[in-house]
């Protein structure tokens, strides 16, 4: 098996990264950072998020597993004290692959080329105005659903529903559900602009299309990336054909993790 190990960059994570590489090499596995079968991330959910984008071009071949050296995460679910156990699992046990849906974002620019740029998000895509309010039409399945006015919109995956989406009052969705969720950021409702005022959950075969209507600079974020698009004509979001693959060596109790993260023991 070919593997790669990524680190958050702090001393603890870097030391753990070197230990894991040494252990796995001793077991006869191959360190291959360009085309790994398994990527082990050491740090936290942000480290795994970075690794996802680094290897998004080979999602069908690469699986991910995370070790957290800080707060317990939803992606990084192993702890440093379990490194030896994890290494033995990797070296000796065929892992189960669990696939979770991703968000496809296609941004069309408003310049002369009208080029389209495609992105994948593991957590969410956010659309905000840099100054003033965002006014945008929201189309679902090709028909206008509402005209939104407010701070912005967050379109999240089920995996990302526990992140920014939750802070906006969105629902927590089990990560196995092939869907996307649209949550509002401080919508303004009056006689001119009316929104549904609730998060929307769209199934796999539904597409959401946002078209900014007022003359403001729009910032689109894909997970933690802020691509420089220029003037934006439209932002199309749907469940991607690709999926992220996680290597599971033991059960992953999602609702137990939700309880531990937000309620406590």
Determine which one of 10, 45, 228, 241 is catalytic. Answer: 45
**pLDDT band with cut points at 50, 70 and 90 for residue 228:** confident
pTM: 0.95
Name residues whose C-beta falls within 8 Å of residue 113's C-beta, 6 or more positions apart in sequence.
none
Rounded to whole angstroms, how far apart are CA atoms 35 and 60?
Answer: 11
Rounded to whole angstroms, how far apart are CA atoms 232 and 217?
Answer: 8
Average pLDDT over all residues of the chain:
94
Pull the structure tokens for residue 10: 């702090």
- Yes or no: say if 17 and 31 are a contact pair by the CB < 8 Å rule: no
Residue in 10, 102, 97 with CA at minimum distance from that of residue 56: 102
Mean pLDDT of the region 217-245: 93
Rounded to whole angstroms, how far apart are CA atoms 21 and 35?
Answer: 16
Q: What is the pLDDT of residue 149?
A: 95
Q: What is the pLDDT of residue 17?
A: 98
**pLDDT band with cut points at 50, 70 and 90 for residue 112:** low
**Taking 70 as the threshold, does the pLDDT of residue 24 lie above it?**
yes
**pLDDT band with cut points at 50, 70 and 90 for residue 113:** low
Q: What angle do CA 229, 232, 237 make, to 5 degrees?
A: 95
- Yes or no: say if 239 and 204 are a contact pair by the CB < 8 Å rule: yes
Rounded to whole angstroms, how far apart are CA atoms 189 and 26?
Answer: 62
Domains, the chain, ordered by start = 2-95+249-262 (3.40.50.10330), 102-241 (2.60.200.30)
The 10s digit of each residue's pLDDT in 185-194 is: 999 988 888 8
**Taking 80 as the threshold, does the pLDDT of residue 214 lie above it?**
yes
**Taking 90 as the threshold, does the pLDDT of residue 114 lie above it?**
no
Helices within 40-179 (DSSP H only): 45-54, 83-92, 164-167
**pLDDT band with cut points at 50, 70 and 90 for residue 229:** confident
**pLDDT band with cut points at 50, 70 and 90 for residue 207:** very high
Tokens 């092939």 belong to residue = 178
The 10s digit of each residue's pLDDT in 48-83 is: 999 999 999 999 999 999 999 987 678 988 999 999
Maximum separation of any 2 CA atoms in the chain, in Å: 69
Query: Which helix (H) or strand (E) element contains residue 24?
Result: helix 11-26
Q: What is the pLDDT of residue 171?
A: 98
**Taking 80 as the threshold, does the pLDDT of residue 222 lie above it?**
yes
Rounded to whole angstroms, how far apart are CA atoms 245 and 248?
Answer: 9
Mean pLDDT of the region 93-120: 90
Does residue 37 carry a catalytic annotation?
no
Mean pLDDT of the region 200-208: 97
- Yes or no: say if 220 and 126 are a contact pair by the CB < 8 Å rule: yes
Query: Which helix (H) or strand (E) element contains residue 105?
Result: strand 96-109
The 10s digit of each residue's pLDDT in 89-98 is: 999 988 899 9
Name which of 22-26, 60-64, 200-204, 255-259 the model is least confident about: 255-259
**pLDDT band with cut points at 50, 70 and 90 for residue 102:** very high
Q: What is the pLDDT of residue 111?
A: 73
């Amino acid at each position: 098996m070919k593997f790669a190990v990524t680190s958050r960059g702090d001393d603890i994570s870097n030391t753990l990264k070197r230990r894991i590489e040494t252990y796995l090499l001793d077991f006869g596995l191959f360190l291959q950072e360009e085309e790994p079968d398994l990527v082990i991330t050491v740090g936290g959910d942000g480290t795994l998020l970075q690794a996802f984008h680094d290897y998004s071009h080979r999602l069908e071949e690469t699986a991910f597993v995370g070790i957290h050296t800080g707060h317990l995460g939803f992606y990084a679910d192993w702890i440093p004290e379990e490194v030896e156990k994890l290494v033995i699992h990797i070296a000796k046990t065929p892992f189960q692959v669990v696939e979770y849906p991703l968000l496809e974002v296609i941004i069309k620019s408003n310049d002369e080329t009208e080029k389209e740029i495609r992105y994948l998000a593991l957590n969410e895509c956010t659309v905000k105005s840099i100054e003033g309010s965002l006014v945008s039409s929201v189309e679902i399945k090709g028909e206008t659903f509402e005209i939104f006015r407010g701070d912005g919109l967050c379109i999240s995956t089920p995996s990302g529903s526990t992140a920014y989406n939750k802070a906006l009052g969105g629902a927590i969705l089990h990560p196995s559900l092939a869907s996307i969720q649209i949550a509002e950021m401080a919508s303004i409702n009056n006689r001119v602009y009316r929104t549904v005022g609730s998060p929307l959950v769209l199934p796999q075969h539904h597409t959401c299309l946002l078209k900014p209507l007022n003359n403001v600079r729009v910032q689109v974020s894909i997970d933690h990336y802020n691509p420089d698009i220029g003037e934006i004509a439209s932002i199309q979001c749907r469940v991607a054909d690709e999926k992220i693959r996680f290597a599971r060596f033991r059960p992953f109790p999602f609702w137990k993790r939700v309880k531990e993260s937000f309620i406590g023991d």
